[in-house]
Every structure is written in structure tokens, then in C-alpha cells.
């Protein structure tokens, strides 16, 4: 038993040394400190004005904010039925990622990627209030539109973050993908609008992989089923928890919320390789034109463990 434990600890230490982030993260600016962390949605209100806010039933979601300014946010509703059409799925699941700056009690956001193609590249501001483990964010749509107030509860970081999990933690931006055969030839390259996957020091994760460039904005404020289907074509978005297995270099994703209601409760297995500043995610094998291929994604680090958890100490 003692020998086995020593071998496992040594393997974890070796993997951490091989995969340790080469990026040097600074402590989050003081202005950013109140909003940094992994947050779970606990309350959501919407209305035409601050005086007419009404509670949205069964809100669920995840907000992840790094100290160096990267953010991903997913907002949805629990128990969405599988019978929703594409437009209904879209209006009950919103997701974006981008960057944030903070001045006083105001956070300014730039949208790098959004499920709604009309929101790509937009900027908006929110007021915020931090009370202990609770964060309240309020925003007003451009032109005096609907008001939204979201209440988030901070999820605590793991008390003993494993050595081998530390290199995985961070924001990772999608740079390329495709179906690779045994010789390493990319038989079917893939292209996407700016996309990310995020692993947090709380053991949570979130994904926003968008469809190929050229998605068309909607004609109205609410998409038709055909417009929503076209916007979501090729997109993948969910959030949940993850486990890192150091010996086999595999990760398991467990979906707590997803754009596709039928995916909630499901799980994925991915092999991974980290060669800073990149991570490669390798899917289980499949067959294409009689050849065994594996869907392989490459991503570049945007934030590391000390950006995600400024108080982290090993």
C-alpha cells in the first residue's frame, strides 16, 4: 500500500512538472478581486425596468471570471423539456465568453464569442455588488431595453488541488481541430468562431464551441426555429464538473447544464496532452471512410491557475 501510494504521488509530481504552466500570472488587480472566481446562479430577475423585475423560474447557470480579465457565462433554466424547438432552446439557454475590465462598481464586457451571432463583438456594462460569497450583477440592454439582475453564489476552490490537475486549470481558446488518422493526417479540418473551454480550481468546467464563421444575425429580437437552428449548427455548449486521471491522461466531463436539453446528465471522456501554452484534447476513436480517426482539438492557454485563483499557493 505504501509503495503504491509513493508511486502515484511521484507520478503526479512528475506530470505536474512536465505540464506546469509557462505563463507567469500576476495577482488579480484590486478592482477585479470582487468578481474573480467560479459562480453558480442562484437567482434571476428580468423586467422592462428596475421597478418591474420579476423572478425567472428555476434559473441555473455558471459564471467563471479570471483575474486577468477572461469570462465565460452560461444562463439557462432547470428541467428544460426535450420537446423544445430550436427557437425555444435558444431563448432558454444563453452563453458568451470574452473579456472584462472593472472600474469602481461597474464591469465592462467585450463579447468575443456568443451563441447569438448578432452579439459577436458587442460591448456592454453591468453594475455589481459583492456581499460575502454572493455577487449581484445588473445590466440594461442597449437603448433602454430589458433589465436583468442575476445573483451568483461563489463556489469554493478545492481544499487540496491535486498536482496533476493544476496544469489543466485555466481558460483555453480553440485554435484548430479535425479528424486525424493513425498517420496524423487531418482528413477533415474544422473551423469555428472564437471558442473556449474552461477548467476551474473548484472542479467545474464550461464549454462554448461555436459554429463556423459566417453565422447570420437574426432578423428580429427572437429567432425563428430555422434561424436558431442555423446559428447553433456545429455549436457545442455545456457546463458541469470534471475529473483528471493522471496515469492515463484522461479527463471526464459531467454535464450539469447544456444547450441541448437531452445532453444534461451525460458525460464525455477525453484524452489530453499539454505542451505549454497549448493543450490537445483527443476524442475516442471513430471511423471515417474505412479508416480509424480521432477528433483532435488544439487550444491555447489564456489564463492559468493563479489567474483563476489569485490566492493559490502550493
270-312 pLDDT, tens digit per residue, is 999 999 999 999 999 999 999 999 999 999 999 999 999 999 9
At 162-185, the pLDDT tens digits run 999 999 999 999 999 999 999 999
Helix (H) or strand (E) holding 163: none
Cα dihedral 80, 84, 88, 93 sign: positive
DSSP state of 69: S
Residues 173, 207, 114, 25: is their CA dihedral positive or negative? negative
Q: Residue for cell digits 464591469?
A: 107
* pLDDT over 60 at 5, yes or no: no
Q: pLDDT, tens digit, for every residue of 58-90? A: 999 999 999 999 999 999 999 999 999 999 999
Q: How far apart are CA 232 and CA 263, in angstroms?
A: 15
Query: Does the pTM of the predicted model rise above 0.85?
Result: yes
Amino acid at each position: 500500500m505504501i509503495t503504491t501510494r509513493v508511486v502515484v504521488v511521484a507520478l503526479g509530481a512528475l506530470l505536474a512538472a512536465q505540464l506546469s504552466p509557462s505563463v507567469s500570472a500576476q495577482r488579480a488587480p484590486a478592482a477585479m478581486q470582487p468578481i474573480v472566481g467560479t459562480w453558480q446562479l442562484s437567482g434571476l430577475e428580468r423586467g422592462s425596468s428596475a421597478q418591474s423585475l420579476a423572478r425567472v423560474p428555476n434559473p441555473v447557470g455558471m459564471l467563471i471570471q479570471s483575474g486577468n480579465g477572461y469570462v465565460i457565462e452560461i444562463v439557462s433554466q432547470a428541467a428544460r423539456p426535450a420537446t423544445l424547438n430550436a427557437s425555444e432552446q435558444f431563448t432558454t439557454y444563453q452563453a458568451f465568453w470574452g473579456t472584462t475590465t472593472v472600474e469602481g462598481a461597474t464591469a465592462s464586457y467585450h463579447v468575443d464569442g456568443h451563441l447569438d451571432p448578432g452579439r459577436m463583438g458587442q460591448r456592454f456594462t453591468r453594475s455589481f455588488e459583492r456581499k460575502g460569497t454572493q455577487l449581484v450583477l445588473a445590466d440594461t440592454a442597449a437603448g433602454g431595453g430589458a433589465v436583468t439582475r442575476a445573483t451568483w453564489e461563489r463556489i469554493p476552490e478545492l481544499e487540496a488541488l491535486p498536482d496533476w490537475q493544476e496544469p489543466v486549470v485555466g481558460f483555453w481558446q480553440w485554435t484548430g481541430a479535425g479528424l486525424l488518422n493513425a498517420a496524423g493526417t487531418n482528413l477533415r479540418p474544422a473551423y469555428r468562431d472564437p471558442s473556449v473551454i474552461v477548467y476551474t480550481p473548484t472542479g467545474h468546467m464550461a464549454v462554448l464551441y461555436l459554429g463556423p464563421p459566417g453565422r447570420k444575425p437574426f432578423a428580429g429580437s427572437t429567432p425563428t426555429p430555422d434561424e436558431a437552428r442555423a446559428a447553433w449548427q456545429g455549436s457545442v455548449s455545456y457546463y458541469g464538473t470534471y475529473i483528471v486521471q493522471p496515469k492515463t491522461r484522461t479527463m471526464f466531463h459531467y454535464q450539469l447544464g447544456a444547450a441541448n436539453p437531452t445532453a444534461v446528465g451525460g458525460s464525455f471522456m477525453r484524452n489530453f496532452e499539454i505542451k505549454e501554452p497549448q493543450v490537445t484534447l483527443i476524442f475516442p476513436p471513430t471511423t471515417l471512410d474505412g479508416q480509424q480517426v480521432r477528433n483532435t482539438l488544439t487550444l491555447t492557454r489564456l489564463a492559468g491557475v493563479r489567474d483563476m485563483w489569485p490566492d493559490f499557493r502550493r
